[in-house]
Amino acid sequence: MVLELKRSGKVRPGMVTPGFSLPDATGQVWTLEKLFAAAHQPLLLLFTDHACGACDALLPQVARWQQAHAERLTIAIVNGGPSADSVALSREHGLRNLLVDEDRMLLTTYGLTATPSAMLIDTNRILAAAPAAGAAEIADLVTRALQPRGRSTIARRALLFASATMVFTVISTRAMARGVTGANWRPKQVKFAGGWLCKQRYALCTKAACKPSPSDPNVLICRCVVEYGYSYGYKSCAERARVGKRLVSTFSTQNTNHHTRTMTCTPRAQWANCLDVDCEIDPYNPTHAMCRCKSVESGDFFTFGGNCDTSTCTSVIWSAATPPGVPFQAAMESIGLSVTLPKACPTGTDDDDLPPSGLEFQ
pTM above 0.85, yes or no: no
- Kindly state whether residues 35 and 78 are assigned to the same domain: yes
* Cα–Cα dist 202/188, whole Å: 14
Q: How many domains does the chain divide into?
A: 2
- Kindly state whether residues 18 and 162 are assigned to the same domain: yes
Q: Supply the CATH number for residue 96's domain.
A: 3.40.30.10
DSSP, collapsed to helix, strand or coil, labels residue 317 as strand
* Cα–Cα dist 282/114, whole Å: 26
- Kindly state whether residues 37 and 116 are assigned to the same domain: yes
- Kindly state whether residues 339 and 305 are assigned to the same domain: yes
Domain membership flag for residue 353? no
Q: Tens-digit pLDDT profile for the chain (362 aa)? A: 333 444 445 678 888 888 888 998 788 899 989 998 888 899 999 999 877 878 888 899 999 999 999 999 999 999 988 887 778 888 888 898 999 988 888 888 888 878 899 999 998 899 998 899 888 899 999 998 998 754 444 444 443 344 333 333 333 334 333 333 333 447 889 999 999 999 999 999 999 999 999 999 999 999 999 998 999 999 999 999 999 999 999 999 988 888 899 999 988 899 999 999 999 999 888 889 999 999 998 889 999 999 999 999 999 999 999 887 789 999 999 988 888 889 999 975 444 444 443 343 32
Judge contact between 312 and 210, C-beta under 8 A: no
- Give the range of the structural domain holding residue 166, as residue numbers without chain letter: 2-177
- Kindly state whether residues 43 and 151 are assigned to the same domain: yes
Domain membership flag for residue 184? no
- Kindly state whether residues 173 and 244 are assigned to the same domain: no
Domain membership flag for residue 213? yes
Most distant pair of Cα atoms in the chain: their distance: 69
Domain membership flag for residue 182? no
